[in-house]
Amino acid sequence: MNATHSIETPIGGTGAIAMIRVRSSAIDAAMDKLGIGTLPIGSLRLCDLLGIDSGVVARWSDDSVMLMPHGGAAIVRAISGKLNELGIPLADTTGGAYPEADDEIESRMLGVLAHAASPLAVDLLLDQPRRWRAPHDGLADASLLGRLIEPPIVVAVGRANIGKSSLLNTIAGTRVALVADQPGTTRDHVGVAVDLAGLVVHWVDTPGIDERVADDESVTIAIGMVRQASLVLHCTDASDAHSMLDERIAAAIDGSTPVLRVLTRADQGRGAGGDTPRTSAMSGEGVAELVRAIRDDLVPPAVLDDPRPWRFWGD
Mean pLDDT of all residues in 3-13: 77
CATH level 3 topology of 3-91: Gyrase A; domain 2 (3.30.1360)
Separation between Cα atoms, residue 83 and residue 77, nearest integer Å: 10
Residue limits of CATH 3.30.1360.120 in the chain: 3-91
Lowest-pLDDT choice from 8-17, 181-190, 196-205, 259-268:
181-190
pLDDT at 122: 96
Residue limits of CATH 3.40.50.300 in the chain: 153-296
> Average model confidence (pLDDT) for the chain?
86
Mean pLDDT of all residues in 241-250: 82
Digit-coded pLDDT (tens) for 261-303: 999 888 776 655 567 888 888 888 889 999 999 999 999 999 9
Decide if pLDDT at 258 tops 60: yes
CATH class of 153-296: alpha beta
pLDDT at 49: 95
pLDDT at 97: 62
